Amino acid sequence: MTTTPFLPGLALNRRFFKEVVQPLLAREFPGLVYSAALIGYGSDVLGFDTPQSTDHNWGPRLQLFIPPGDYAQSRDAIDQMLRAQLPITFLGYSVNFSKPDLSDGGTQSMEAVETGPVRHMIEIRTLDAYFRRYLGVAPDTALTPLDWLMLPQQQLLEITAGEVYHDGLGTLEAARARFAWFPRDVWLYRMRTQWARIAQEEAFVGRTGQAGDDLGSRIVAARVVRDLMFLAFLQERRYAPYSKWLGTAFSRLSCAATLTPLFEATLTAPDWQTRQQPLAEAYKVLATTHNTLNVTPPVDPTTRPFFNRPFQVLFAGRFADALRDAIENAPLRNLPAIGAVDQFVDSTDLADDPALVTKLRAVFT
């Protein structure tokens, strides 16, 4: 880690592009049409980076997107120019990086050198190849609802977060805007699935505790809280990140001030009777928010006992059913409430590999 005063990666690389990379390209490749951004992987892209983040895959870095027709001819020349002419440091941070650590997923770290050339972390790509790498589809591909169900939220977030520093191609901003949020029916189907997941387990918080299994009750409560958090992201039309940043991103939602104390009380409660009280309040908050979305006829947001058992529940399946009826696309409406790939498969290795994800298409047919 560096001792240089910390500057968030988006701001660092905005200056790196404007003060270093852009002038070099203008001088050495005056006719080049390109776009530049910091998107894709990394806590810096999401705006969650801290000084700890500087230890790997962080520093003066960005992506350059050049036209396909120029790629074969210009890519290596641009790379060699940057290696030779980039400064060895920028604002106190090394512009030179270590070789990829193949034992750690190919990570690279800033590595100080006394002279150039530098091993930089400026990716030079075509826009088409970059989107295919992250999403498995080209940026201008016409997508069906099923295609959208094959796109994990983490990947959609990575491709639409960050910042575009220059869009000379005129296509990068448009491509990002196209993936900024789900089509309406896909959105409704994802929310339907979240409510269905909650319905499947909401009574188990009390039943496991009543049976003397407080550990089981805590585990179920944590699962339900996690599903409620994902539902909150959907209600606020925000992509949810994977687990490392889920709580951090959730804290930035408008509902967080209300729901966070309820979730904390649920997860720290000493017994199931105490646990179900704040959880019931959280159900009502999200049920009320559902009605404000005006995507279905109003659904009663109050909780009630689970039949003749002393477990306070929402009967969340009522919301799932209302959302199913609101979906206009018949094939999507008729799908079981299993959700998109990242709703029924909790595997980072799979979500990070579009080729693996596509193998799950058969689940929906």
* Secondary structure of 281-350 in HEC code, one letter for each residue: HHHHHHHHHHHHHCCCCCCCCCCEEECCEEEEECCCHHHHHHHHHHCCCHHHHCCCCCCCHHHHCCCHHH
Show the CA angle centred on residue 25, arms to residues 72 and 60, nearest 5°.
Answer: 95
The residue written with tokens 């498995």 in the block is 136
Cα–Cα distance between 339 and 344 in angstroms, integer? 6
Q: Per residue of the chain (365 residues), what is the pLDDT tens digit?
A: 456 789 999 999 999 999 999 999 999 999 999 999 999 999 999 999 999 999 999 999 999 999 999 898 899 999 999 999 999 999 999 999 999 998 888 899 999 999 989 999 999 999 999 999 999 999 999 999 999 999 999 999 999 999 999 999 999 999 999 999 999 999 999 999 999 999 999 999 999 999 999 999 999 999 999 999 999 999 999 999 999 999 999 999 999 999 999 999 999 999 999 999 999 999 999 999 999 999 999 999 999 999 999 999 999 999 999 999 999 999 999 999 999 999 999 888 888 899 999 999 999 98
Quickly list H helices, 236-255.
243-250
For 139-150, the DSSP string reads TT----HHHHHT
Cα–Cα distance between 320 and 332 in angstroms, integer? 13
In this structure, is the dihedral angle defined by the CA atoms of residues 137, 139, 145 and 149, taken in order, positive or negative? positive
Angle between the N-to-C axes of helices 153-160 and 127-135, in degrees from 0 to 180, rounded to the nearest 10? 150
Burial (CB count <10 Å: 0-12, 13-18, 19+), residue 302: exposed
Dump strand ranges (E) for 171-211: none
CA atoms within 13 A on the CB side of 152: 26
Cα–Cα distance between 55 and 248 in angstroms, integer? 20
Cα–Cα distance between 122 and 24 in angstroms, integer? 13
Structure tokens at 148: 């959208």
At residue 2, the pLDDT reads 52
Dump strand ranges (E) for 195-296: none
Structure tokens at 313: 């529940």
Map out the domains of the chain as residue ranges.
9-178, 184-334
For residues 81 and 117, is the Cβ–Cβ distance under 8 A?
no
Please list, in sequence order, all residues whose beta carbon lies within 8 angstroms of the beta carbon of residue 159, skipping any fewer than 6 positions away: 39, 40, 131, 134, 135, 176, 179
Cα–Cα distance between 199 and 294 in angstroms, integer? 21
